Amino acid sequence: MAHLLFAWFIFVIFFASIISWEYGSAVVLPEIQKNSSQSTLESQRILGGNHGDEDIFIPYQGERFSIFDWNLCRLMARKYYGNILISPVSLKLALVLLYEGAQDQTAHELAGVLHLPIGQLETRDKFSTILRSLQDVSNQYRLNLGTKMFLDRNISLKQSYSAVIKTFYNTDVEPSNFADVHTTAERINSWVNNITHGNIQTIIDDENDMKDSIMMVLNAIYFKGFWLKNKFLPNNTKIDKFYENINKSFDVKFMKAFGNFDYVESPELDAKILRIPYQGRKFAMYFILPRTTDGLDYVIKNVNSFTVSRHVGMMQRLPVEVTIPRFKFEFTTHFESILREMGIRDIFDNTAILTGIAKAKRAQSLIVTEIIQKAGIEVNEMGTAAYAATEVNVGNKMADQQFNANHPFVFYIEDETTGTILYVGRVNNPLMSIGSTLETSTKQFVPVSIVGNSPVQQVDDEINERLNYFNVEFMQIVNDLSEGNVVMSPLSIKTALTILSEGTGGRTREELLSTLRLPTDQQQTRDITRKLLQIIQNNAAPETEIDLANRLWIGQSVEVSNEFNNLLRFYYGGDTRSIVFGNATSSEVINDWVRQATKNHIHSIVEPGTLSAETKLLLTSALYFKAKWRTAFDENATRNRCFNIPERGCFIVPMMEDLSTFRYAKISSLKAEVVEIPYHDEKLSMLIVLPIHQGLQNLNIVSKDLAHKRISELLECLKDTELILQLPRFSVESKINLKPALESLGIRELFNFNANLSGILPNGGARVRNVLHSAKIEVNEQGTVASAATAFAIIPLMGATHDIVRVDRPFLFLIVDRPSSTIIFAGRVIQP
């Protein structure tokens, strides 16, 4: 059999809907055949010419090119549970490049499933029209679209094929050395990062996946739009129930607007359809909302290109009360199985005939091994500053119709000048942030991981208090073993160790469960972990940034159980990667992952040369947290003041200051003052534990005594008190090898040669060498825009009668989830 040459097709899409006040300049495509001014004039004609901010909507009158789009949407919605996001135009732009080089059955399958126009010239004209429309320049939205082919230097494209893809599809070809997979992967990821404005930093996560490949085709699209006339005002956003099904609901933030919208009701779909235009009079978002809570399956079954276009043509401008949830999520699609089911099979098999692409006999064996699409979307209220103060809302009594998207719905984004669907998706859960076709293949198996498909439920109080015992004990041990400032995340560490417990047995497992206070029932452990992870996923407000990642690195020639791999992915949102630990670049690979996982906030977790070739497993946990206070500290009130460092005396630091009402108590049993500073969402807060007396010994005593005080009891002690709070700015980053602390707490066998890791490594013979943890926290004056008023942030006059809490000596801090009393972060500040 001839040696097969592999090609990858990867698509990257990021859609940002009104997430910034900033405009900036649009990034556009190069010219395609003729000047884009013709398309711009056509756009103005169709949408009513230059009428300022008025939206005169005339639906697209030409022949629709969206049969494939809706067929794809229906199939994916039937196969996969949860939120979905795909870009049909991005997928079609990549597949049509294959069609241009295909022959016989391969070409027939592509043309038939994509519903391409009859004849290559008509197909080229259709896509040229679409690309011209997508290159229109506007300062009212941003659109960046690019297609690039990375080709091994040992392969040459046919001259005719190269000319066609450049002329009609604006596709550039970049010669690459696929033997040097690291350099090629970096170039590919850099191109993707640039096209998507940094929203997708990597499309190649595992360089080993590129082995034996000779060609990669990438399509990336980035769109950022602003609602026309600022339909949704932030102060109208309210928390309400979203009903995932009849029996399950949870709290989400809903945007609200009253005004004239294009609206229609569809008896065929038993649904309401709403259009919301973007600035620029070119793009619009459509929502298809079932009449009933459980009606989405019926909509999916019956929706098609003809039904949608007919009802859009019947839309009327009516007063509508609109309620839709804010949502933000990412979705990764592996298309091979989906396209095979739709009828595109030949490109993946040895029978593929793609002889029109490349020269030489080797190119006759070209097949496609993978088609991946990464997409992201964010929808919220934000509009431009120009319209924020001029919006006139119509009151409740004036609304003829109600459009309340408080249950699952379908949406799509359309270029209304050509009828091109840029994005189509489904929202089952507005709180879900990540999705993938790899996570679940049927509705019978729903992943319960950090992405979570269900509302956050409160962990049983008694169980949760027991879980917190480990948190406080661990904080105390790490403080004893460390010097200087420390920050750690008991929640992150516990998650990583719970992942390990899934693959342990015997005494190794008993030590982990006993120390972590986990139940012996594995399913109960998974449920508890899921709920704790959902604290991070669902409790975070837009003003709160929490980045958490766990990965188990596997040494060379070590085989990991498939069952453990699946458990890690489905229940804990983690993954495994193979690595050569003795390799000089191994630490660089691990640190690159950390930088990507924490958005460049944490730069390294292992130092070069610290990983020996004997290492079999390395568990890494990386976490970054940044949040805004419910009420900001006034930066003008910050003064340089004295902070007393043990054995060094007074050290001048920037000290923030606020006169306000805080929850506060002086707790005699701890010999400490405790003050609570709430974050914006009011579910998360920071507790400052300040010893009454100075000195490091007093801080250590407070740290030990805290182990005997329940967090819930600590919170109950606090009372509203008007006081002057003086708190230093501080930024703490810690890199900790947790092995000594865990051994002190009773987890020992995991690290010795008796370790039972049979659930991870069926062949045995391994132990955990290190558990590395990196965490970072920044604390300063910043608050949210809504609560940044400085009326209460004043500098007190001499003789003020308010209590003063002056945090001018070493202190402990904890960040807790108030409803469950769960400690998410904890630390110690010796020197700000």
Asked whether 370 and 336 are in contact (CB, 8 A), the reply is yes
Instruction: Please determine, for residue 91, whether its predicted confidence score (pLDDT) is greater than 80.
Output: yes
Confidence of residue 390 (pLDDT cuts 50, 70, 90): very low
Record the tokens describing residue 801, joined without a space.
């009668």
The residue count of the chain comes to 832
Between the alpha carbon of residue 500 and those of residues 475, 565, 638, the distances in Å are 20, 11, 45
Query: Who has greater pLDDT, 248 or 467?
Result: 248
Asked whether 83 and 426 are in contact (CB, 8 A), the reply is yes
Helix (H, G, I), strand (E, B) or coil at 722: strand
* CA dist., res. 497 & res. 483, Å (int): 24
Amino acid identity for residue 404 in this structure: N
- pLDDT tens-digit readout, 328-361: 777 778 888 888 888 988 888 778 888 888 876 5
Record the tokens describing residue 342, joined without a space.
């739709």
Task: Specify the range with the lowest mean pLDDT, choosing from 26-40, 237-251, 624-638, 678-692.
Answer: 26-40
Query: Who has greater pLDDT, 20 or 589?
Result: 589
Domain positions in the chain are 7-33+66-226+329-379, 234-323+396-436, 461-539+545-625+736-774, 635-729+780-829
Between the alpha carbon of residue 784 and those of residues 358, 385, 454, 656, the distances in Å are 56, 17, 28, 16
DSSP-derived letter for residue 32 is B
Please give the pLDDT value at position 548: 66
Helix (H, G, I), strand (E, B) or coil at 422: strand
Instruction: Please determine, for residue 34, whether its predicted confidence score (pLDDT) is greater than 60.
Output: no
* CA dist., res. 167 & res. 157, Å (int): 15
* CA dist., res. 665 & res. 663, Å (int): 7
What CATH topology corresponds to 7-33+66-226+329-379?
Antithrombin; Chain I, domain 2 (3.30.497)
* CA dist., res. 620 & res. 738, Å (int): 10
Residue 128 neighbours by CB distance under 10 Å: 17
Asked whether 748 and 511 are in contact (CB, 8 A), the reply is yes
Instruction: Please determine, for residue 786, whether its predicted confidence score (pLDDT) is greater than 70.
Output: no
Instruction: Please determine, for residue 784, whether its predicted confidence score (pLDDT) is greater than 70.
Output: no
Closest CA to 187 of 143, 144, 149, 142: 149
Between the alpha carbon of residue 779 and those of residues 344, 478, 672, 679, 687, the distances in Å are 54, 21, 21, 11, 13
Closest CA to 383 of 269, 257, 488, 272: 257
Instruction: Please determine, for residue 641, whether its predicted confidence score (pLDDT) is greater than 60.
Output: yes
Query: Who has greater pLDDT, 533 or 343?
Result: 343
DSSP-derived letter for residue 750 is G
Most confident of 152-166, 412-426, 570-584: 152-166
Q: 0.85 cut: is pTM over it?
A: no
* CA dist., res. 254 & res. 235, Å (int): 11
Closest CA to 88 of 110, 99, 73: 73
Q: Is 23 exposed, middle or buried (CB count within 10 Å of its CB: 0-12, 13-18, 19+)? A: middle
Residue 47 neighbours by CB distance under 10 Å: 21
Confidence of residue 725 (pLDDT cuts 50, 70, 90): confident
- pLDDT tens-digit readout, 158-188: 888 889 988 898 888 888 887 888 888 888 8
* CA dist., res. 607 & res. 618, Å (int): 13
Asked whether 818 and 714 are in contact (CB, 8 A), the reply is no
Instruction: Please determine, for residue 461, whether its predicted confidence score (pLDDT) is greater than 70.
Output: no
Cα torsion at 197, 200, 205, 209 (round to 10°)?
A: -90
Task: Specify the range with the lowest mean pLDDT, choosing from 16-20, 124-128, 477-481.
Answer: 16-20
DSSP-derived letter for residue 593 is H
* CA dist., res. 516 & res. 512, Å (int): 6
- pLDDT tens-digit readout, 651-691: 788 888 888 888 888 888 888 888 888 877 667 788 888 88
Query: Who has greater pLDDT, 473 or 238?
Result: 238
Q: How many CA atoms lie within 13 A of 446 on its CB side?
A: 14
Record the tokens describing residue 129, joined without a space.
């029209």
Asked whether 456 and 534 are in contact (CB, 8 A), the reply is yes
DSSP-derived letter for residue 55 is -
Record the tokens describing residue 116, joined without a space.
């391409």
Residue 397 neighbours by CB distance under 10 Å: 8
Q: Give, in degrees to the nearest 5, the angle at Cα 683 between 682 and 686.
A: 80
Please give the pLDDT value at position 33: 39
Query: Who has greater pLDDT, 714 or 821?
Result: 714
Q: Is 775 exposed, middle or buried (CB count within 10 Å of its CB: 0-12, 13-18, 19+)? A: buried
Q: Do domains 7-33+66-226+329-379 and 461-539+545-625+736-774 have the same CATH topology?
A: yes
Q: What is the mean pLDDT of residues 418-423?
A: 58
> How far from chain centre, in Å, is Cα 767?
33
Confidence of residue 795 (pLDDT cuts 50, 70, 90): very low
Query: Who has greater pLDDT, 682 or 26?
Result: 682
% residues pLDDT > 90 (the chain): 2
Confidence of residue 823 (pLDDT cuts 50, 70, 90): low
CATH architecture of the domain with range 234-323+396-436: Roll (2.30)
Most confident of 387-391, 436-440, 718-722: 718-722
Please give the pLDDT value at position 723: 82
Residue 104 neighbours by CB distance under 10 Å: 12
Most confident of 165-174, 193-202, 217-226: 165-174
* CA dist., res. 75 & res. 342, Å (int): 8
* CA dist., res. 333 & res. 438, Å (int): 8
Asked whether 19 and 383 are in contact (CB, 8 A), the reply is no
Instruction: Please determine, for residue 323, whether its predicted confidence score (pLDDT) is greater than 70.
Output: yes
Please give the pLDDT value at position 386: 18
Amino acid identity for residue 103 in this structure: Q
377 bridge partner residues: 15, 329
Phi and psi for 167 in degrees, rounded to 5?
A: -70, -45
Compute the Cα dihedral for 472, 473, 477, 480 and give only its sign: positive
Record the tokens describing residue 137, joined without a space.
């320049």
* CA dist., res. 291 & res. 166, Å (int): 46
Task: Specify the range with the lowest mean pLDDT, choosing from 293-307, 581-595, 607-621.
Answer: 607-621
* CA dist., res. 77 & res. 326, Å (int): 21
* CA dist., res. 446 & res. 78, Å (int): 14
* CA dist., res. 807 & res. 830, Å (int): 11
Instruction: Please determine, for residue 513, whether its predicted confidence score (pLDDT) is greater than 50.
Output: yes
Confidence of residue 124 (pLDDT cuts 50, 70, 90): very high
* CA dist., res. 727 & res. 643, Å (int): 10
What CATH topology corresponds to 635-729+780-829?
Alpha-1-antitrypsin; domain 1 (2.30.39)
| CATH ID of 461-539+545-625+736-774, from 3.30.497.10, 3.30.2350.10, 3.40.50.2000, 3.40.50.2300 | 3.30.497.10
Contacts of residue 247, Cβ cutoff 8 Å, sequence gap at least 6: none
* CA dist., res. 195 & res. 148, Å (int): 11
Phi and psi for 292 in degrees, rounded to 5?
A: -110, 160
Instruction: Please determine, for residue 538, whether its predicted confidence score (pLDDT) is greater than 70.
Output: no
- Work out the mean pLDDT of the chain and round it to a whole number: 72
Closest CA to 432 of 458, 410, 455, 457: 455
